[in-house]
């Protein structure tokens, strides 16, 4: 445990939203740790809270959000073996401390590259903006050189010309690469990618994913990948978290989750994805029903209403997580008997 370099440590993160005088819990007791140089995928369907989780960590939340946690610790291993600890949970959302973390330490890549870039500025200026913000003494010329270097690293052809382009002159894949360049320009240790390829075509998606993988392996960056695409998870991630209605239902290494999916939701989710080369006439498994409204949820397991194995016990109290193998946690009473971990 001690020799692992934990870069992000989240313990019992809870996020609620206030709306119309009602408080709705969106994230419930989410805990996870991310090792340096590894990539963690958070998967789930829309509304499961995967985006809200990372936005709660980076504190990019609307005013009506209430974030509570035991702790959220970010550790920077940049200069020495002795990490520098930041208690993110003690910082204010848009305070100086938090802002100094965003960019140089933690940065984000968002879903839609068309919306992430400002259409009225040249992309070069948009890349160096972050650099100049955190390095007041740097000149614009120096910054531009660094930006061109970065684009070279990301395999963008003719970077000297590209920095002078406006976003509309670039294709979708190229724009997403620019967005990644903006995220990478301050050399952050942790990159959070929120559905980075959902808006792109498959062949372009393959290019971008290749690039992200390279960042992780060649530059030893840590990556949190948020996606609903199970295929991407197998290609990118070392560790996987499966979320459903704001709770982690299963957590483990990629191999553990995919070769031994143990929560009914994970199992059904995996078998409901059409896979190439499926036999003719073979049918997909479906998960009956639709995701419930978070405001209607009562105690017990969130998945109980759609679960074929639901029992009376599933409808009561808090369902604990069980460790069925080392590092493989399943939040399901069907695994009771294993060590309770959460």
Partner 1 sequence: MAENNVTNTNTTNSIDNARKYGTKLWKKKVRKFFNNRLAVFGLLVVVIFLVLMIGAPIFTKWDPNAPNFKAKLVGPNAEHLLGTDSLGRDLFARILYGGRTSVLIAVVSSFIGSTIGTILGAIGGYFEGFIDKCLVRLQEIVSCFPQLILVLIVVAFIGPGTWNLILIFALTGWTGCFRLVRSEFIARKEETYVKVCEAFGMSNVKIMFSQILPSVLTTVIVQLTMNIPGYVMQEAGLSFLGFGVPMNTPTWGTMLNAAKASSILINNPHCWLVPGLAISLFVLAVNFFGDGLRDVMDPRQQ
Partner 2 sequence: MADNNIFRLENVKVWFPVQKGFFKKTVGHVKAVDDVTINVKRNETLGIVGESGCGKTTLGKAMMLLENPTGGDVYFNEDGTEKDITKFSKEERFEFRKKVQMIFQDPYSALNPMKKIYTEMEEPLLIHGYKDKAEREYMMEQALKLVNIPVDYLFKYPHEFSGGQRQRVCIARAMEINPKVLVCDEAVSALDVSIQAQVLNLMKDIQQERDLTYVFIAHDLSVVQYMSDRILVMYLGKAVEMADSIELYANTKHPYTVSLLSAIPVPVLDRDKKRIILKGDVPSPINKPAGCPFHERCDRCMERCKTEEPQLKDVGNGHFVACHLYE
Q: Which is nearer to partner 2, 136 or 283 (CB)?
A: 283
Binding partner of residue 137 among partner 1, partner 2, none, CB cut-off 5 to 8 Å per kind: none
Binding partner of residue 283 among partner 2, partner 1, none, CB cut-off 5 to 8 Å per kind: partner 2
Binding partner of residue 254 among partner 2, partner 1, none, CB cut-off 5 to 8 Å per kind: partner 2
Under the binding rule (CB under 8 A), the answer on residue 277 touching partner 1 is no
Under the binding rule (CB under 8 A), the answer on residue 253 touching partner 2 is no
Residues from 94 through 123 that contact partner 2 (CB under 8 A): none
Q: Which is nearer to partner 2, 79 or 203 (CB)?
A: 203
Residues from 219 through 248 that contact partner 2 (CB under 8 A): 228-235
Under the binding rule (CB under 8 A), the answer on residue 308 touching partner 2 is no
Residues from 287 through 326 that contact partner 1 (CB under 8 A): 288-290, 292, 306
Under the binding rule (CB under 8 A), the answer on residue 276 touching partner 2 is yes
Under the binding rule (CB under 8 A), the answer on residue 280 touching partner 2 is yes
Q: Which of 232, 230, 200 is nearest to 213 (CA)?
A: 232
How far lies 99's CA from each of 63, 85, 180, in Å? 17, 16, 19
Under the binding rule (CB under 8 A), the answer on residue 157 touching partner 1 is no
Which residues make up the interface to partner 1 (CB under 8 A)?
286, 288-290, 292, 306
Which residues make up the interface to partner 2 (CB under 8 A)?
45-46, 171, 173-174, 201-207, 209-210, 228-235, 254-255, 258-259, 268-270, 272-278, 280, 283-288, 290-291
């Amino acid at each position: 445990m001690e020799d692992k370099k934990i870069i992000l440590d989240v313990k019992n993160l809870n996020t609620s939203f206030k709306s119309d005088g009602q408080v709705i819990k969106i994230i419930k007791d989410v805990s996870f740790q991310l090792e340096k140089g590894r990539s963690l995928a958070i998967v789930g369907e829309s509304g499961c809270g995967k985006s809200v989780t990372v936005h709660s960590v980076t504190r990019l939340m609307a005013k009506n959000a209430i974030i509570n946690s035991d702790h959220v610790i970010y550790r920077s291993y940049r200069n020495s073996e002795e990490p520098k600890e930041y208690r993110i949970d003690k910082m204010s959302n848009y305070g100086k401390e938090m802002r100094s973390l965003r960019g140089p330490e933690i940065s984000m890549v968002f879903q839609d590259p068309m919306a992430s870039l400002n259409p009225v500025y040249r992309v070069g200026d948009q890349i160096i903006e972050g650099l100049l913000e955190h390095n007041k003494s740097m000149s614009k010329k120096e910054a531009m050189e660094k930006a061109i270097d970065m684009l070279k690293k990301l395999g963008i052809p003719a970077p000297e010309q590209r920095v002078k382009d406006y976003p509309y002159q670039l294709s979708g894949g190229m724009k997403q690469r620019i967005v990644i360049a903006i995220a990478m320009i301050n050399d952050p240790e942790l990159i959070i990618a929120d559905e980075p390829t959902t808006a792109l075509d498959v062949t372009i998606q393959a290019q971008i994913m290749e690039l992200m993988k390279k960042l992780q392996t060649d530059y030893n960056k840590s990556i949190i990948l948020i996606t609903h695409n199970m295929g991407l998870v197998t290609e990118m991630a070392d560790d996987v978290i499966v979320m459903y209605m704001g709770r982690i239902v299963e957590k483990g290494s990629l191999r553990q989750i995919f070769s031994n999916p143990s929560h009914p939701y994970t199992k059904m989710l995996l078998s409901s994805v059409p896979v190439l080369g499926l036999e003719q006439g073979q049918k997909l498994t479906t998960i009956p029903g639709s995701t419930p409204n978070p405001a209607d949820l009562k105690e017990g397991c969130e998945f109980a209403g759609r679960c074929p194995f639901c029992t009376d016990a599933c409808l009561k109290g808090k369902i604990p997580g069980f460790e069925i193998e080392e590092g493989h946690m399943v939040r399901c009473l069907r695994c009771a008997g294993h060590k309770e971990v959460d």
